[in-house]
Amino acid sequence: MIPLADLVWVAWYSALAAVVVAGAGLLTLHLLRGRSVATQLVVVGVATVLATVSGIVVISLMMLLNEHDLLVVMWVVTAAGLVALAVSVLLGRRLVAANRVLVDAVRADSFEPPAVRLPAELAELSRELEAARARLAAAHEREQALEASRRELVAWVSHDLRTPLAGLRAMAEALEDGVVDDPETVHRYHGRMRVEVERLAEMVDDLFELSRIHAGALRLSRERVGLADLVAEAVAGAEPLASAKGVRLRGEVYTGGPVQVDASELGRALRNLVVNAIRHTPGDGAIEISAELVAGEARVTVADACGGIPAEDLPRVFDVAFRGETARTPGGGAGLGLAIARGIVEAHSGRIGVTNMGPGCRFEVSLPAAVT
């Protein structure tokens, strides 16, 4: 039986030799930290083998083996070390090859996950790159759609501004040159000029509201408001326009309750929906505004008799400056009302959508109900 003191000395010298070799290996890794993983794996393999060999050499020398036995031990240790080093080099080459495959996939025009089997870490990186590529593609599509809507908005607004401005210029020149001087015509011109100025003011106001929404500068002053009050205000505000066109308005609240909203902004969104419905509903048509509480949500719907929206246009109804068919938008403004309504509803953490139902369309606004 080996004495305990000898075992302690053997362990001490073996550990000391291993620490010296490990320190040298760590220093080498630090110096080569910018090199490839394959090179660092070789360093790790060499350090591991040398640490083991140093411990065996120390033990062999302390055991006072004869020259023959010591030579046999050295050959065995050397052979094992060379095998371990070869395995380290092989693993490094495989890792580098997998990394090169992933790099080539990233450098391609469109990233596709490599078909070869990658190590777990590189496979996870490949999945994250694929997810990032999908997010970038979606962001690019949104950017293109937004740019297209901006161009469409500029075109529509330029057209809509040009028409009233041309009319205002012609009437102002006629009044200034004395071409029109009878009181009745002058009064009619003044009235028409006031109407056109109000129309221009509404367009500018819509553009300002839309810019605030897109810039994230819409500040909400929330308060508890009843659903019945919102519906009643929307009906009362649009009643003159509906009466002038011969459209019937009906508001009904099935289950009332409070919502925590900015009454002014949300009222504007609902008015935009109702005015849009009136514009596209023929005379003698009917529009129903209803509200109810469903599963902790306040839902307000505006159902019109517009005849429906083509299925391909439904996803674009709330886009900026979208007007759809010309027949649906006689004098319909710059096409900002529904875009503003969506921005206001989403600022309230709500949802807005549209579907074809019955003789027309059904716009639905869903908002979180106020906590009682």
pLDDT of residue 273: 92
pLDDT of residue 301: 93
pLDDT of residue 1: 56
Mean pLDDT of the chain: 81
* pLDDT tens track for 117-167: 887 778 888 888 888 888 888 888 888 877 777 777 777 777 777 878 888
pLDDT of residue 144: 84
Give the C-alpha distances (Å, rounded to integers) separating 5 from 11, 13, 17, 212: 10, 12, 19, 83
pLDDT of residue 351: 92
Q: What is the mean pLDDT of each run of 10 residues along the chain (372 residues)?
A: 66 76 80 74 76 74 69 78 78 79 81 80 84 87 78 73 84 86 86 87 83 81 88 89 90 82 90 90 89 87 89 84 51 69 91 90 88 56
* pLDDT tens track for 58-87: 777 766 567 777 777 778 877 877 887 787
Question: pTM for the complete prediction?
Answer: 0.59
Q: Which residues contact 22 (CB under 8 A, 6 or more apart)?
A: 47, 51
